[in-house]
Amino acid sequence: MEQSSSMYKFASIGEMAETTTQLLALNLQYKASLGTRHSRATGLERVEQVVLQQARDYLADVREGFVLSVRTAQVTKRSEIQFLLDRVLMDWTQLSRELGLSDEEGNASSIEQGGQPPAIERLREQLLAFSMAAIAFGQLPRLSADQITFPYSYSNPPTYSDIPAPDSPGETLVRIEELEQMIWQVMASDLQELLTHRYGALRRTYGFFEVSACLARKESERFGIKRRKGGLFS
């Protein structure tokens, strides 16, 4: 049961990454070229918000998986230790509440009164999300030109080889935070503005979801997982 649940989660991450890539491509090809956003929400824009929220939820799992995975033994620089203390260890209180590990007295009282103990969220989903993200970071510079669809690539053939894989916990956290910020900005900002002022971050974000979709597609075929016919915008 646990293995099939993990496979389902793996497949769902791949579908989310593919749909997010398609949505970003559609917006970059059309909305950015128009240089404007409609003032009122259309049906498509409501769908966009749902898709981007799914991407944000996934990145929240990636962050939690990173927090659960990072070890001080992996950090060699004092400055990076301080950076991670400021960014990561502050998250433990919130994470503890989300996992149902806080308020032990309240939990004990609930059990004594005949209630069921609060369910503890299974950690493997966050760890799976972070593992997939870490692999995507490493594979992004190696993605072949025929798989790159970013509409505003200026190299011929297109490449992500200039985007280095993070090689420390601090750099990994910076990339995760950048992804979170960019998805929020795509939801809230004009894409032409992002192309002009946040081109690098937008390209890295697009590439991350693109390589995630490619990796999931390849592994799904190897595991014999059936994919949906076409994507959201096919």
- pLDDT digit string (tens) for 219-234? 766 666 555 544 554 4
- How far CA 104 is from CA of 100, 108, 163, 175, in Å, comes to 9, 6, 45, 35
Tell me the C-alpha distance between 78 and 130, whole Å.
24
Low pLDDT (below 70) residues in the chain = 1-6, 31-44, 72-75, 86-123, 220-234
Give the residue ranges of DSSP H helices in the chain: 2-26, 32-34, 43-69, 78-87, 92-98, 104-112, 124-139, 169-188, 191-197, 199-223
* The dihedral formed by the CA atoms of 70, 74, 76 and 77, expressed in degrees to the nearest 10: -20
pTM of the model: 0.77
Residue tagged 């559609």 (tokens): 26
pLDDT of residue 129: 92
pLDDT of residue 144: 95
pLDDT of residue 233: 47
pLDDT of residue 133: 95
State whether residue 35 is helix, strand or coil.
coil
pLDDT of residue 91: 52
* The dihedral formed by the CA atoms of 98, 100, 106 and 108, expressed in degrees to the nearest 10: 180
pLDDT of residue 19: 94
Q: Which residues of 81-102 are buried (b: 16+ CB within 10 A; e: fewer)?
A: eebbeebbeeeeeebeeebeee
* The dihedral formed by the CA atoms of 68, 129, 84 and 119, expressed in degrees to the nearest 10: -40
Tell me the C-alpha distance between 92 and 96, whole Å.
6
pLDDT of residue 105: 46
pLDDT of residue 234: 45
pLDDT of residue 80: 72
